[in-house]
Structure 1
Amino acid sequence: MDSSRMDSISAFARRVGLTPSALRFYDDCAILRPARVDPQTGYRYYSESQVERARLLRELRTAGMPLAEVTVVLDGSPSDARAALRAHAARIRHEADTAHAVIGELLRTLPGAGPARVRVGGPELAAAIRQVAPAAATDGEHEALRCVLLECADTEVRLVATDRYRLSVRELTPLAVDGDPGAALVPVEALTGVAAWATRATDVTLTVDGTSARLEASSGSRDLPLVDAVFPAYREVLAALGPPAHRVVVARSVLLDALAATECPAFVELSGETAALDGTPLPAVCSGRLSVAFDPATLGAAVEAGVGPEVLLELTAADRPVVVRSADQGSFTTVVMPVAG
């Protein structure tokens, strides 16, 4: 590639996927100056070395990042860039969740609202049930905590369960959607009872109309009992987490074995680029310094519910919950509360 190549603003715009007017704007904002401006004509010219910056700028703006934060990613340190990206991701996720909730409520109140009907893969639904169900309470006076919340929207189906010590959320991408958004609160025993049946179905259609819920497949159908109770405001819990300060990637089997051999409280300890559980080193990818105490049974159940060979732990502070994700399946998330050390 000729490093001395200079492109006109129109040619450069085509190369990097921006418009000439956008390039002029970024020039005026001092974010992407042209390599040379003809003093007589005022024509702008761009060099080969500016292609990568221009394309990154386009991607950041496509992601909706404000210009003030774009400059941090383009010109700041790698740590500042990561912090800005994480903060922006958390913000847009919160905004999207809020918008979905508001629009869903408005749709439900419009005249002629139809029942929610979503079609998902049978094995995927069964796997989601098995992942989320362990987070539901097995006893206690709060009936909603002994249930799984099913939420049907235009872009996703969510299964949510919590016993207040942990919160599990699994998202499924529907194969087809009909009707308006809907939600159902189903006793965990009833939902786990249909998991094996759903596994044998290629796909399953879930219908929710506010007073009933039904699963239908080519092999038959299953009616789901509903509970009339208020489920905890889990979206507010997730939104309040904010971006994590530390991430740990560790083999799931290794972490499960270590947790099984540990008494409560179990301390997850980060020391620079090394991690340990109650002093036992863990082969992990991590950074930072932090010590957080957990009930090994609760954390172990969250890790066990994941999929894949690795698990991702997101930590913020000693008094903040840990977010447990399957490292290769970001659609499953469990939040585990710490305990006093």
Structure 2
Amino acid sequence: MDTISAFARRVGLTPSALRFYDDCGVLRPAHVDPDSGYRYYSPEQERDATLLRTLRKAELPLADITTVLTGTPAQARTVLATHARRLRARADAAQAAVETALRLVSGRAHVDSTVGGAELASAIRQVTPAVADSEEFPQLRCVLLECSASDLRLVATDRYRLTVRELVPHAVCGAPARALVPADALVDAAPWALRHDAVRLIIEDTGAHLVAMDTASDEASDTVPLPTHDGDYPDYRALLDALEPFTCRVVTDRSALLEALTASRDPSYVPLHADGDTLHVGGVTVPAVCSRTARLAFDAAVLGPAVEAGVGPDVLLEITADDRPVVVRSADQGSFTTLVMPVRPR
């Protein structure tokens, strides 16, 4: 066996850290000399010590580390998945604070983000079905445009579903900014954007507008002003961070699922039963790949547009429970995500 100093060098920890972990009951030595009190460690403990060092680097609390080291693999995965969500939430909060500070330092909101015209038109087509129809909440009749150094996000929600589409800009200039733009204005601008290879989205304190770029001269060739709304928008990031790990994943043909939803006798309540290699949609059976069994139900008017807005032949459903949001994705486009609420089981 190794002395505490030799073992510390071997696993990348300090002797004082090993004493602390012993006192906390996280990593006991294999043997303690009854006369001298010297601690000794066996080679079999190297794995736990190395894992302990890695988990501390990931800022996992000691109580959770004990579960990872001594619990079952399933318990360890649950602890690590929960901690990963906690770290993402903390990082998002820090990023939001930095972006706010940047806006305050600059004195005014301004961002100039360049994306492909066809990509922007496609993103508008995908997110606008999730915009609310009701006049009760005017801000929900808008699409949130959120620009940062890494992406341009288009977000829409009617409180029953949430759609997020991420675009990777060709170029970004200025501090992060956001704007609420009425969905009708974006729908009108989509055909215009489709005719141009590159489009700049400019958001300022005074408003927002789209600028078409001439690829030959790299100069502005046309401009479309976008009306903006001043209302508050739901904190969609908090909702995404609060999502629990899915318990069932279903991959099925997008067109077949849409046809089954359309054929339902009661569109307001369409039961779905995932089982093995089939997905039962109302009275229709659709071929599918299901990771496990699940039962829930949807309003076809809510789920249908989310499925239809996808890209590619397949759709992916990530199910947590029959009363929790279901993630709807295109199987081959991870940058487009929709959350859809099931209806209450009958």
TM-score by length of 2: 0.75
| Structure 2 equivalent of residue 195 of structure 1 | 190
Residue aligning to 1:3: none
Instruction: Return the offset for 1:247.
Output: 2.8
Match for 1:246: what amino acid?
T
Q: 1:295–1:45: structure 2 CA closer, same or farther, 3 Å change rule?
A: same
Describe the superposition over 1:113-151 as per-residue Cα deviations: whole angstroms up to 9, x where unpaired. 451122333333232222111111345343222211101
3-state SS of paired residue (1:193): helix
Is residue 255 of structure 1 aligned with residue 260 of structure 2?
no
Q: In structure 2, what is the equivalent of residue 215 of structure 1?
A: 210
Aligned to 1:242: 243
Structure 2: 5+ residue stretches without partners: 1-5, 32-37, 215-220
Higher Cα Rg, which structure = 2
1:326 aligns with 2:336: no
- Cα 1:84–1:42, aligned 2, differ >3 Å: closer, same or farther? closer
Give the 3-state SS of the residue equivalent to 2:185 in structure 1. Answer: helix
Q: For residue 191 of structure 2, what is the amino acid of its counterpart?
A: A
Q: Distance in 1 between matches of 2:84 and 2:282?
A: 32
Contact 1:150 1:184 (8 Å CA) reproduced: yes
- What is aligned with 1:159? 154
Name the SS of the counterpart of 1:194 in structure 2.
helix
Q: Measure, in 2, the Cα distance between the counterparts of 1:200 and 1:71.
A: 58
Which deviates more, 324-333 or 159-168? Answer: 324-333
- Identity rate of aligned residues, in percent? 46
Which residue among 127, 134, 137 is the counterpart of 1:132? 127
Q: How far 1:188 moved relative to its partner?
A: 1.3
Counting only pairs closer than 5 Å after superposition, residues 45-64 of structure 1 correspond to structure 2 as 64=59
CA contact (8 A) 2:120 2:193 kept: yes
Shift of 1:78: 4.1
Alignment of 1:62-211 (within 5 A): 64-70=59-65, 72-73=67-68, 76-110=71-105, 112-113=107-108, 115-211=110-206
Label 1:151 to 1:324 Cα distance change in 2 as closer, same or farther (>3 A).
same
Given that 1:186 and 1:224 are in contact with CA atoms closer than 8 Å, whether structure 2 keeps it comes out as no
Q: How has the CA–CA distance of structure 1 residues 255 and 80 changed in structure 2, closer, same or farther, with 3 Å as cutoff? A: farther
CA distance in 2, matches of 1:102, 1:286: 39
Supply the AA of the counterpart residue of 1:292: L
Q: 1:10 to 1:59 in 2, by over 3 A?
A: closer
Which consecutive unaligned segments of at least 5 residues does structure 1 have? 1-7, 14-18
Describe the superposition over 1:268-288 as per-residue Cα deviations: whole angstroms up to 9, x where unpaired. 234689753336365222225
Indicate conservation of the 8 Å contact 1:9/1:23, yes or no. Answer: no
Match of 2:35 in 1: none
CA displacement 1:172-214 (0-9 Å, x = unmatched) = 2333332222111112122123333434544332211132112
Q: Tell me the distance in 1 between the aligned counterparts of 2:114 and 2:54.
A: 32
SS at the partner of 2:159? coil
Residues 129 and 58 of structure 1: is their aligned pair in 2 closer, same or farther, counting only changes over 3 Å? farther
Query: 2:34 aligns to what?
Result: none
- Give the Cα–Cα distance (whole angstroms) in 2 for the partners of residues 311 and 301 of structure 1: 12
Segment of structure 1 superposing worse, 78-87 or 145-154: 78-87
Question: CA separation in 1, counterparts of 2:176 and 2:305?
Answer: 31
CA contact (8 A) 1:149 1:231 kept: no
In the alignment, the residues of structure 2 paired with residue 20 and residue 285 of structure 1 have an alpha-carbon distance, to the nearest angstrom, of 44
Tell me which amino acid in the other structure corresponds to 2:117: G
What does residue 339 of structure 2 align with? Answer: 335
3-state secondary structure, aligned to 2:202:
strand
Give the CA deviation at 1:42.
8.9
Counterpart-to-counterpart distance in 2, 1:228 and 1:171 = 21
1:287 to 267, 292, 298: 292
2:304: which partner in 1? 300
- d(CA) in 2 for partners of 1:309 and 1:56? 42
Asked if 1:226 corresponds to 2:221, the answer is no
How far apart in 2 are the matches of 1:196 and 1:55? 56
Separation of aligned partners in 2, 1:34 and 1:200:
69
